[in-house]
Amino acid sequence: MIEVEFNISNAELHIMRVIWSLGEARVDEVYNQISLMDWSLATVKTLLGRLVKKEMLSTEKEGRKFIYRPLIDENDAIDRMSQNLLKKVCATKQRNVLGQMIANSELTKSDIEQLQEALSEKVAVAEVHCNCLETVGACACKHEAEHMEKM
């Protein structure tokens, strides 16, 4: 199976969070939960339609209304979004992403202990190699010499 890129907009994610919180929902129930966003009913319908197309929601007609159910759970979505973010940066800069995430997260003592445990169990590689040329065909990193050796 081909790994499909997990691609969700901020607006779509907002809708998913509403549906995750409700378990399942009809259009009007979603609409009632998004009062903060000032979106029209048509916008909500469009976003729901996109999420069905992306296979993140299922839809089924019950009576005269469509009901929407999540096809991916919140934790899976968080995993996929995190992997996506790491894939978007140079392999040598992934630790910057992790450092920023740790610095900017609200963590309890037990959260920190769990992270420390995960880090202590992490198997280190000898060296991390830039993958910019392979992934974007250009590299802004300061290691041209290393790339030259590969050619």
Q: Give the nearer residue to Zn ion in terms of CB position, either 123 or 138.
A: 138
Contacting range for Zn ion; rule: CB under 5 A; set: 16-24, 58-66, 70-78, 129-137: 129-137
| Residue showing tokens 């319908």 | 45
Q: Does position 89 bind Zn ion by CB under 5 A?
A: no
Count of residues near Zn ion by CB under 5 A: 5
Question: Strand, coil or helix: what is 67?
Answer: strand
CA distance 86 to 84: 5
Q: Does 139 bind Zn ion (CB under 5 A)?
A: yes
User: Which one of 141, 148, 150, 151 is in contact with Zn ion (CB under 5 A)?
Assistant: 141
CB 135 within 8 A of CB 141: no
Instruction: Name the H helices within 54-108.
Output: 74-87, 94-104
Give the residues lining the site for Zn ion (CB under 5 A): 90, 130, 132, 139, 141
